[in-house]
Amino acid sequence: MLERQNEFSIDDAENDSISALARKVAFLSQPGSYSPEPGYVQARETHMSWVFMNGARVYKLKKPVHFPYLDFSTLARRKAACLAEASLNRRLARDVYLGVVPLTETASGYAIGGSGPVADWLVVMRRLNEDQTLEAMLRSGEARSADAERIAAVLARFYSHAARVLIAPETYLASLYEAAVLDWQVLLNQRFGLPRGSILHVASAQRRFLKHSAPILIDRASRRLLVDGHGDLRPEHIWLTLPHPIIDCLEFNSRLRASDALDEIAFLHLECERLGGRWFGDAIRRRLARTLHDDPASGLFLFYRVGRAMLRARLSIAHLFDAHPRTPEKWPRLARAYLALAEADARQLERLLAR
């Protein structure tokens, strides 16, 4: 009987949480909730947050979710995550992240700020023009070589000053293997119908590199080339307008931000290619080659690209684990696109290893 009561109490708590989130979203979706009152509010849902864009400001509300890699399930945890988001993102977007404000309860409902009991926390940002992201400019053909030079300069300064991550070289090596195994396990799940031969081909190349080129990875960890980086360096997070802010770092998990800076640039390079802008990624890589100790003959850059492509394929298809995934038709298509990129890189990596 006690177990059944606990089950019901958990269900009630979950229902209360969902209901409270719906009320907060409804409030924050109304122009009258803000001062000064904007003409309209655009609400956008992500996997972890609700984002409300009104006029010159953006307010971000974190969902009360709990995943293996993050925990926003309590008010205290959401407050800590909001404070971390504002602080960490100021490293690359100082004038964008304006602070954190409480969402409070009043006699008539909710209020932004105020002295009532705190119901939740909001990250406040300056609104940026999404037509000026690197992704938008690559898609429109408006990105230029000078833009790549400027972004590379921003990243060179960032990585030169980023905190170094102290990790035992053997632990770093093991973490790369464990991450690859997780990707393989999810992608090989038969329910997704992804090309098994391609996945196994890529996995074989990754294993071979980890076995034969382990000294390269151990050396990089030993030389303290691992940094507390951005964690999600994609073109949609990079603006080509002054002062070239880069937003939305992974504030919620320091382990996911800890990587070889060359790994992050390999990820950006991969994403630029996926958008038809490989030339932009090539320009950034050339500009940062000396800073990041990039030796093309080692195959390391290709190995990192393969790993990032497999990770993105896994994260894409994993949306279908949700009971009611948004845009379910999108994820298998995106996963296959990343797998194609991973397999092409794996072939190049194999040729390098055969020399």
Question: Could you give the 3-state DSSP secondary structure of residue 248?
Answer: coil
The residues near 168 (Cβ < 8 Å, ≥ 6 apart) are: 221
Q: What's the whole-number mean pLDDT along residues 194-217?
A: 98
Domain boundary among 127, 159, 190: 127
What does the pLDDT read at residue 326? Answer: 83
Residue of 103, 108, 96, 61 lying closest to 82 (CA atoms): 61
Question: Above 70 in pLDDT, residue 27?
Answer: yes
Per-residue pLDDT at 275 exceeds 50: yes
Mean pLDDT (whole number) for 209-226: 97
Q: Which domain holds residue 110?
A: 2-127
3-state secondary structure of 230: coil
> Does residue 84 sit in the same domain as residue 121?
yes
pLDDT band at 278 (very low <50, low <70, confident <90, very high): very high
For residue 151, give every residue at least 6 positions away whose Cβ sits within 8 Å of its Cβ, in sequence order, or none: 134, 238, 240, 244, 284
Looking at residues 281-292, what average pLDDT do you find? Answer: 97
User: What confidence tier does 81 reach under pLDDT thresholds 50, 70, 90?
Assistant: very high
Same domain, 222 and 95: no
Residues 6+ apart with CB under 8 A from 93: 245, 246, 247
6 has pLDDT over 60: no
Is 150 found in the same domain as 38?
no
103 and 164 fall within a common domain: no
Over residues 81-91, the mean pLDDT reads 97
DSSP secondary structure letter of residue 162: S
Extract long-range pairs of 45-49: CB within 8 Å, 24+ residues apart.
Answer: 45/326, 47/319, 48/72, 48/252
Asked which of 108, 127, 146 is the last residue of a domain, the reply is: 127
| Spatial distance between the Cα atoms of 101 and 97, rounded to a whole number of angstroms | 12
Same domain, 42 and 26: yes
94 and 194 in a common domain? no
Residues 141 and 260 in one domain: yes
187 and 315 in a single domain? The answer is yes
Q: What is the average per-residue pLDDT within 22-30?
A: 97
The CATH number of the domain holding residue 305 is: 3.90.1200
Q: Are residues 185 and 321 in the same domain?
A: yes
Say if residue 282's pLDDT is above 90: yes
For the segment 55-77, the average pLDDT, to the nearest whole number, is 94
Average pLDDT over residues 20-26: 96
What mean pLDDT comes out for the span 111-138? Answer: 96
Total number of domains constituting the chain: 2
pLDDT at 2 over 80: no
Q: Which of 80, 96, 127 is the last residue of a domain?
A: 127
How large is the greatest C-alpha to C-alpha distance in the chain, in angstroms? 73
Is pLDDT above 80 for 3? Answer: no
Percent of the chain scoring above 70 in pLDDT: 95
Q: What percent of the chain has pLDDT over 90?
A: 89
Mean pLDDT, all residues of the chain: 93
What the block records as the tokens of 238 is: 């990079």
Dist CA 280 CA 147 (whole Å): 9
Coarse DSSP helix, strand, coil percentages of the chain, rounded to the nearest 5 percent: 55, 15, 30
The Cα 43–Cα 30 span in angstroms is 10
User: pLDDT class for 16, splitting at 50, 70, 90?
Assistant: low
Same domain, 108 and 228: no
Distance CA 232, CA 342 (A): 18
Judge if 103 and 177 occupy the same domain.
Answer: no
Calculate mean pLDDT across residues 83-98: 97
Q: What is the rounded average pLDDT of the residues 148-169?
A: 97
CA separation for the pair 246, 106 (Å, rounded)? 36
Could you tell me if 243 and 260 lie in one domain? yes
- The answer to whether residue 17 scores a pLDDT higher than 80 is no
Average pLDDT in the 244-269 region?
96
